[in-house]
Structure 1
C-alpha cells in the first residue's frame, strides 16, 4: 500500500499539487500508525512521511503546522532509538529531526528553543561512533553536524551585529 501512496505523492508533487501530496502522505501516516511501532522500517517510513508533510507545510508558509509534523516525526524517531539503541542510522535520524524542529522554531521566532534543539543534535552526533565500514553514514553525520554548527554560528554572528 505504501508504494502506491508514494507513487501518488511523487506524481502530485511533480504536478505542483502540494494539497494532494499532503493527503496521500496523511493516508500513509494513518496506515503506518496502525502497524507495529517497534519495526524499524515502519518507524522510518512513518517518520519520513511526517517530515515530508512538514516540509510541504513549511514551504507553504504554515510554520506552526510544519513544526507539529516535524515534532511528531522526532517522537517516532526517539521511540525507535529506545527500541533499537544500537542502530546508528536511527540516532542520525533523531539529529535530523531535531534540526528540522529547531529550524521551524527559529522561523517562528523561538530562538532559544531552536538553539537548544541545534545543540542537542550536535551532542548526539558528536557522541555517535561509527565503524569504518559505515562511510555513507559518516558522511551524512558530518553533513548534518556541519549544518547544525552553522546554525549556531549564524545565531552567534547575529548576536554580535
Structure 2
C-alpha cells in the first residue's frame, strides 16, 4: 500500500465519491485540493487526491521540496510517503489500500516542513461491490470473506444458487 501517480482502474459499478475539500495558506505557499474515495475489487479501495500548489498570501511561491502523503486505515497509522516533488499547479496522487465496508479511512496531505498545516480528509469505506458469498457452517449461515483457489486466497464476492434462491 503506497501512494502513486498512476490511476487505478475502477471496476464496473464503482465511482469516485465522498468529495472532500482541503485548503491551507501561508505567506509563501498555499495548498488546495479535492480528495475522493472509490471501491476497487474485493476489499480494496482507492483514495484520489487532486492537490494544487500555488502562491502564498504574499503572492510569492516558495513551496516545500516534497509532498507528504499518508493514509490511515481504521485508526492505524499508515506510513508517510515523501517521495514526490512539489511543483506549481495541480498534481494527482492515488492510494490503494485494503479495508472492509464502513471502515474509517483518513487521508493526510501537505508539504514536508511546510508552514501550512497538514490537511486531513476522513472517509467511510464504500460498500463492497457485488454480492457477498455465504456458507452454511454448523447450521448457521456465515459470511465468507476469502476463499482459496489454486493455492491463492481470493476475496469472496460472488453469487450462488441455494434452494432456488440467489445468495
TM tier relative to shorter chain: under 0.3
Quick check: which has more Rg, 1 or 2? 2
Structure 1-normalised TM-score? 0.23
Structure 2-normalised TM-score? 0.23
Name the structure with the higher helix share: 1
Name the structure with the higher strand share: 2
